A and B are shown apart, each in its own frame.
Chain A
Amino acid sequence: MSSRSAAFWLGVRALLPMHLGVMPFGVIYGIVALQSGIPPLAAVLMSSIVFAGSAQFLLAQLVGAGAPALLMIGAAGLVNLRHALYSASVAPTLVSLPWRWKLLLAYLLTDEAYAAAIPHLLAAPRSPYAHWILFGAGFALWSGWQIATLAGVVLGAQLPDNLSLDFALPLTFIAIVVPLLTDRRRLAIALVAGVLAVLLAGLPYKLGLFCAALAALLLAAILPGKTAP
């Protein structure tokens, strides 16, 4: 990473393919939020106040179902629990940054931004501009998400469903994860996390995902062999 702007654009570019999946997701969120009876202004601002796709969908559904406020808050917290893993993962890279950076990057720490930035952070953990990669990815996702939800709320137009564009997200995550599977330990972790996530998919609030990742990590701790990264 030669400069801030190079790092920033590296992050932006790493995230761009995900917009293919994020955009329809955001548009549909906007439509669902309105259908649930959320006022347009709240539906749009939720994308910057909460800024978490699955949690926003869940909140919209719960508002529509007339759920109590405490349940909605708890549900949003549980759905986003997995972000604590990302927080732990990027924390060492951000440790010496000023607080304004930590707050900003924590706000932008989503599945997508984390996934887009992490291969580059792993490749250059000591780069003085590493946080700019995360910022570029986070900023690119944030902008796209705002535009998409605004389009869903304002236009209310249904996107063509038969193209399955939402599948761009899992495909991008595959493109990111597979090159990280460089040894048998990582393969085993991926296998366990993947199988458990499928088995636990019935748990509410995406808890299956969180539990599967956690269980696979704990398995990594007890696996024989070096734990060198």
Chain B
Amino acid sequence: MNLWPTLLVAGLLTFAIRLSFIALEGRYQPAPWFVALLPFVPVAALTALVTPDLLLVAGELRFGIDNPRLWAGLMAIAVAAWRKSILLTIGSGFAVLWLIQWLR
């Protein structure tokens, strides 16, 4: 099968999705409620991106020590709330992750 047309169309579709609202902005009058929601997109989208990584192991909820990413993530959340430092957050998360992996 020739892969190239598929890749090109998949790429164009991805690009079109990313361009969608950027291209439309200024050409339509978005509803006020829609505009009011935009400041909340980062929190909604990025939280949804992260939580499955923390709570699911192979698709199943795990809250115990058999899910080190949960505890590492909780540590990272605490550190991020305490100090707005990305490196400190990543460092503390990895410290807990590696510690639990090493202890198990």
A binding-site residues for B, Cβ under 8 Å: 14, 17, 20, 38-39, 42, 45-46, 49-52, 55, 59, 63, 69, 72-73, 76-77, 80-92, 94-96, 102-103, 105-107, 109, 111, 114-115, 118-119, 122, 162-164, 167-181, 185-186, 189-190, 193-198, 201-202, 208-210, 212-214, 216-218, 220-221, 227, 229
Contact = CB atoms under 8 A, between A and B. Distances in A.
B90 A88 contact: no
Contact of B26 (A95, A111, A115, A193): A95
Which residue, of A46, A95, A115, A220, has the highest number of chain B Cβ atoms within 10 A? A220
B18 A102 contact: no
Nearest to A76: B10
Nearest to A90: B22
B52 A201 contact: yes
B15 A181 contact: no
B95 to A, nearest CB: 11
Contacts of A109: 18, 22
Contacts of A229: 39
A87 B6 contact: no
A49 B76 contact: no
A102 B23 contact: yes
Interface in B1-56: 1, 3-11, 13-15, 17-26, 33-34, 36-56
Nearest to B15: A107
A175 B86 contact: yes
Interface of B: 1, 3-11, 13-15, 17-26, 33-34, 36-56, 59, 61, 69, 72-73, 76-77, 80-81, 84-87, 89-90, 93-94, 97-98, 101
B10 A82 contact: no
Given A106-B22, A172-B90, A38 B3 contact: yes
Contact of A52 (B14, B39, B47, B49): B14
A217 B76 contact: no
Contacts of A81: 17
Given A87-B21, A198-B56, 9 more contacts: A38-B3, A87-B20, A88-B34, A170-B50, A175-B90, A189-B43, A213-B41, A216-B44, A221-B33
A82 B45 contact: yes
A81 B17 CA distance: 7
Nearest to A101: B22
Nearest to B26: A95
